[in-house]
Amino acid sequence: MGKQTGFMDYRREIPDDLEPSGRILHWKEFHLPLSDAKLRAQGARCMDCGVPFCHTGKVINGMASGCPIHNLIPEWNDLVYRGLWEHALKRLLMTNNFPEITGRVCPAPCEGSCTLNLIDKPVTIKNIELAIIEKGFEEGWIKPEPPSFRSGKKVAVIGSGPSGLACADLLNRAGHAVTVFERADRIGGLLMYGIPNMKLSKQVLQRRINLLIAEGIQFELNTEVGKNYPIERLLKKFDATVLCGGATNPRDLQIPGRSYKGIHFAMEFLKANTRNLLDESVRKEAYTTISARNKRVIVVGGGDTGTDCVATALRHGCQRVVQFELMDQQPPIRSEDNPWPEWPKVRKTDYGQEEAVAIYGQNPQQYRILTKNFEADADGNVKAVHTVRVAWQLDSEGRPFPQEIPGSAQVWQADLVLLALGFLGPETQLLDQLGVERDKRSNVLADAERYATNIPGIFSAGDMRRGQSLVVWAIHEGRGAAREVDRYLMDDTKIRR
């Protein structure tokens, strides 16, 4: 695939970004595109490695290795190298419903398992993927394609996040009448309100939503099944239901002072900000709902959501931002116990941290920090966070645990605290009403082959079934559930994996 000597002829090149000091002044995407010539050179780097690991999509040591939706990466890399963009688009869309989304927000486990990692830097798979789909839209190759027949079957999809949209897309193509129920006022779930605009433009998301609507999918907004849409009506009207409500139950930090004002879950902060931007209600001097403007901000949590909080706070005009991470800092290169093709657990500076460095001259991340309690002023507003440093030790069974370091206590001044600690599982109200069984982690109990729950005709996919995970895993789940629903309705299926 690609040019036989391409990986030796061309170095890895990724697009430039707008300067951090300038991009924090707006909410637009900041990655600049590569030219077609440079993209073809990057496609040429895809080596004829014999057994490509980039599209295997396996979980090794708890982390994704390769593409969970099994993108035909070597094939479309080769087609881009040859300038056959429309053919590359067709191969890309065979496995990925929304490459314009994964090409923006996926952490690219495909690149982590690229064979070139053994001797060099990996192929720029994610950038090529995004370039293919964007060229498809620019050239007019992507048009609504409603199904040519209808099966007469009706399917309800509850939740319009990545798993729900992927599931609805394939079921609609199979000819079923699909209705997607979304309790929010806009379609997209996590994609709409959980990922900031500068990371995923809502115009990009709406472009795809418009396409799905044009192809015949029905959306019911401001509709929460089990609340303002009765369960009885759902079960009577639809032949099958797919639960794709996500893992929206946030992990809390139950320590002294948690009830003080100014302490919020990360998603409360991010959702309010996106809603304000979409409603055009944000003003330079008055961010509504939860504002970081002129505040000392502390983000508790070191993952992607924590980074999004850092970047959003900077755009609000915060006075300072610090990000706490309980774990130790990762090494600059792979350690011996993290070999290829595992996901590389290596140090990286993400976009939010880059922006903070540009403004304040230092990385906001603080490692091995255990948050002990919050302190408030006379009015009950948080004013400080008390922490202690930890050292990671192994217990008698070899399991790591944080040991507090004596004399390392510290007090951090804060006006706004954002908890970005991940999610524990799905909300339970709907599941209780349906009588759906759950596993030990509170997720819907439905195996990864059939996606079927204990209730006939009710299926589940995405984070609601597997727990908090990547957008690309959610798409994988939605596709798998669509296949099994189609089989349930028609006794067979032509939906491919």
What pLDDT shows up at residue 50? 85
Does residue 400 carry a pLDDT above 70?
yes
Does residue 207 carry a pLDDT above 80?
yes
Strands 154-158 and 240-243: parallel
Superfamily of domain 6-138: Alpha-helical ferredoxin (1.10.1060.10)
Q: What value does the mean pLDDT of the chain take?
A: 95
To the nearest whole percent, how much of the chain has pLDDT over 90? 92
CA angle 162, 164, 166 (to 5 degrees): 65
Tokens 């390392």 belong to residue: 408
Segment 458-466 mean pLDDT: 97
Q: Helix, strand or coil for residue 497?
A: coil
A 10 A CB-CB count for 415 gives 20
What pLDDT shows up at residue 279? 83
What pLDDT shows up at residue 487? 98
CATH 3.50.50.60 boundaries in the chain:
154-248+424-490, 252-421
Does residue 284 carry a pLDDT above 80?
no
Cα(317)–Cα(309) distance, integer angstroms = 12
DSSP notation for 250-302: EPP--STTTTSBTEEEHHHHHHHHHHHHHTT--BTTB--SS--TT-EEEEE--
User: Would you state the CATH architecture of domain 252-421?
Assistant: 3-Layer(bba) Sandwich (3.50)
Closest C-alpha among 287, 354, 277, 279 to residue 316: 287
What pLDDT shows up at residue 368? 97
To the nearest whole percent, how much of the chain has pLDDT over 70? 98
The DSSP call for residue 125 is H
What pLDDT shows up at residue 3? 84
Question: pLDDT category, 4, cuts 50, 70, 90?
Answer: confident
pLDDT in tens, 340-382: 999 999 999 999 999 999 999 999 999 999 999 999 999 999 9
User: Bridge partners of 179?
Assistant: 156, 218
Does residue 282 carry a pLDDT above 80?
no
The 3-state DSSP composition of the chain as helix, strand, coil percent (nearest 5) reads 35, 20, 50
What's the Cα-to-Cα distance from 205 to each of 64, 128, 413, rounded to whole Å?
Answer: 25, 19, 38
Question: pLDDT category, 63, cuts 50, 70, 90?
Answer: confident
Lowest-confidence region among 115-119, 170-174, 251-255, 286-290: 286-290
Segment 22-42 mean pLDDT: 97
pLDDT in tens, 296-350: 999 999 899 999 999 999 999 999 999 999 999 999 999 999 999 999 999 999 9
Does residue 62 carry a pLDDT above 90?
no
Question: pLDDT category, 45, cuts 50, 70, 90?
Answer: very high
Does residue 287 carry a pLDDT above 60?
no
Question: pLDDT category, 2, cuts 50, 70, 90?
Answer: confident
Does residue 9 carry a pLDDT above 50?
yes
The DSSP call for residue 120 is S
Q: Which residues contact 50 (CB under 8 A, 6 or more apart)?
A: none
Does residue 285 carry a pLDDT above 80?
no
Strands 58-60 and 63-65: antiparallel
What's the Cα-to-Cα distance from 176 to each of 293, 388, 473, 490, rounded to whole Å?
Answer: 48, 56, 24, 10
pLDDT in tens, 422-456: 999 999 999 999 999 999 999 999 988 999 999 99
CATH 1.10.1060.10 boundaries in the chain:
6-138
User: Would you state the CATH architecture of domain 154-248+424-490?
Assistant: 3-Layer(bba) Sandwich (3.50)
What pLDDT shows up at residue 288? 55
pLDDT in tens, 192-204: 999 999 999 999 9
The DSSP call for residue 421 is -
What pLDDT shows up at residue 460? 98
What pLDDT shows up at residue 280? 66
| Phi and psi based region of residue 26 (left: phi greater than 0; alpha: psi -120 to 50; beta: remaining) | beta
